[in-house]
Amino acid sequence: MSLSTTIAQSVVAELNKHTFSLPFEAVFSVIPGFELLELDTLRVIVVPKTFEIETASRSSSKYLVSVDIGVMQRIGKMSPEDAVETIGNFVDEVIEYLKTATLDESPAAQCVGVVNDPIYIPDHLTQSRTFTSVVNVKYVLLG
């Protein structure tokens, strides 16, 4: 299994063992996506994103792995503003947790950065009444 896949699956395990304000089950996927009917409940999908190797010295390297975490849910009768507030707060919780959490299944991986882009997609809110946000988390491993 590739290092990027291992880290992504470790993130899934870490998210699923922690208690957040909204119920969900994180899943790993190489092809992200859901049908609208599947989005009545909060969906969290983790996908490997990038893999970089930098030379640290003549005999060691620094491995940079990033994963994307997609957060999606149909907002139903909730207003777009309420959805951005409620589900956006959940996304903030995920960010705050992962930026300092040790991945039990990959303890050598250390979070070195988090980007939430897009925070939400306005077109999804208005056209399909779906909240969609993507969090990118970058991990470093020395070897």
pLDDT in tens, 84-118: 999 999 999 999 999 999 999 999 999 999 999 99
The kind and range of the H/E element at 90 are: helix 80-98
**pLDDT exceeds 80 at position 36:** no
Q: Homologous superfamily of 3-142 in CATH?
A: Phage minor tail protein U (3.30.70.1700)
How distant, in Å, are the alpha carbons of 6, 36, 60, 76, 108 from that of 141? Answer: 12, 37, 11, 41, 6
| pLDDT score of 142 | 82
CB 133 within 8 A of CB 119: yes
Please give the Cα distance from 65 to 134 (Å, whole number).
16
For range 17-32, the mean pLDDT: 94
Chain segment 62-83, per-residue pLDDT in tens: 999 999 999 999 999 999 999 9
Cα 46 from chain centre? 5
Cα 104 from chain centre? 16
CB 52 within 8 A of CB 143: no
